[in-house]
Chain A
Amino acid sequence: MANLLKQEGITVIEVDAQYDSLDVAKLNEFGSQLLAAVAEAEPPTVLLDMGKTTFIGSSFLGLLIRAWKRLRDRRGSLALCNVNDVCGDVLRASKLDMIWQVFPDRDAAVGRLRP
């Protein structure tokens, strides 16, 4: 579900599979990967690259909120990039674009977020 890498000191998580439906097992697997990455990220800044993600729903948002809260507890932040129109609509409808930075692409995100 996710590839983890480091780019200029930023922990980047590529959501690699098409997140196109709720499969409880896959969601839980992704959630575990995400929270583990968040716990280990140093510095505590995580960028989610959504370039291969077709659509997201409320369960995915719930996972992101949990991850974001843990980063916030560590004085860190969560950001997203390569968000398509529909995913952008979901973030805007839920007003979560007001608490997470959303960048057009990874380079723009890393440029702004790097320590």
Chain B
Amino acid sequence: MATVLIVDDSAVDRRLAQGVLEKNPELAFLYAVDGADGLEQIKISPPDLVLTDLQMPVMSGLELVRQVREKYPLIPVILMTAQGSEEIAVQALASGAASYVPKSRLARDLADTVDTVLATSRAQRHHARLMECVTRNHWTFVLDNEPSLIPAIVDHLQQHITRLRLCDETGRIRIAIALEEALLNALYHGNLEVSSELREQDTKRYYELAEERRREEPYRSRTIHFEATLSSPETVFVVRDSGPGFNPHSVPDPTDPANLERASGRGLMLIRAFMDEVRHNERGNEITMIKRSER
């Protein structure tokens, strides 16, 4: 049994819409007289679908669509539009309405539209519920030396860290900073072998040289092998570049007063500050970073 909330300031129109849909014995109905009333009803008893008029006092159907999308993203909204309001209906679709049906075609189109939207939304709810059951995610990436991939990967993993509820927002951002630093080190210092010293002296030349090397061998063929495992006990990132490696113990301590004025050299320090455990392989081209869950 699915519940449909019919929102319309006209009692006649509410009855009309119900009349079309009540032929389906699997539907039950709730009612509201405008958008604000509709939101109140949803709060008390969330329906499976909202069917709303567009033009209403207090809160319009368009505003109702926006609010439902924001607060109840898994509840679809179908708009009923009077003649001449198709432009607003398009706006509403852009704001997140699932569909719209002109009031002049309720008898013909409403039942099928409701069936289709309910089926899609049911599948989405099941998927969302399934995702809540995921306890561990593992990815393996092999990246080329395209810098724009790094923010994309960091964003991708942040979304999954949030979904798995591994830590609070601050913890998530700290992990993101550490990961970004590790991937940037792998790309610029590892694969492309452009040094912090060059960046210190001439930032423009640093990025120019990196761009030149991205197109030349042996740098062009080098990749970054990245594995990420997200789970409740711990999050583990392993970043391995294809460069010659380095000695992590040779990096000057940027917090030493003698080094505070250096413009570079803080990446590894931030990784160590924000992850619980950091290890390097012997060659110095692989870093393992572990963050234990706060849950």
Contacts and interface: CB of A to CB of B under 8 A. Distances in A.
Interface of A: 20-24, 28, 31, 54-59, 61-63, 65-66, 69, 85-86, 89-90, 93-96, 98-99
Given A28-B207, A93-B269, A65 B181 contact: no
Given A94-B255, A98-B260, 19 more contacts: A20-B151, A21-B154, A22-B147, A22-B184, A28-B203, A28-B207, A54-B173, A55-B173, A57-B184, A58-B265, A58-B267, A62-B203, A62-B266, A65-B263, A69-B261, A85-B170, A94-B254, A94-B269, A95-B255
Nearest to A66: B263
Interface of B: 147-148, 150-151, 154-155, 170, 173-174, 176-177, 180-181, 184, 199, 203-204, 207, 254-255, 260-267, 269-270, 273-274
Given A57-B180, A62-B264, A24 B173 contact: no
Contact of A57 (B204, B254, B262, B270): B270
Nearest to B264: A62
28 contacts: A21-B150, A22-B150, A24-B147, A31-B203, A55-B177, A57-B270, A58-B181, A58-B267, A58-B270, A59-B184, A62-B263, A62-B266, A65-B262, A65-B263, A66-B203, A69-B261, A85-B170, A86-B173, A86-B174, A86-B177, A89-B174, A90-B273, A93-B255, A93-B270, A93-B273, A94-B255, A96-B260, A98-B260
Contacts of B199: 62
Nearest to B255: A95
Nearest to A98: B260
Given A58-B181, A89-B174, A90-B177, A23 B260 contact: no
A109 to B, nearest CB: 22
Contact of B151 (A22, A54, A85, A90): A22
Contact of B266 (A22, A55, A61, A85): A61
Nearest to A87: B173
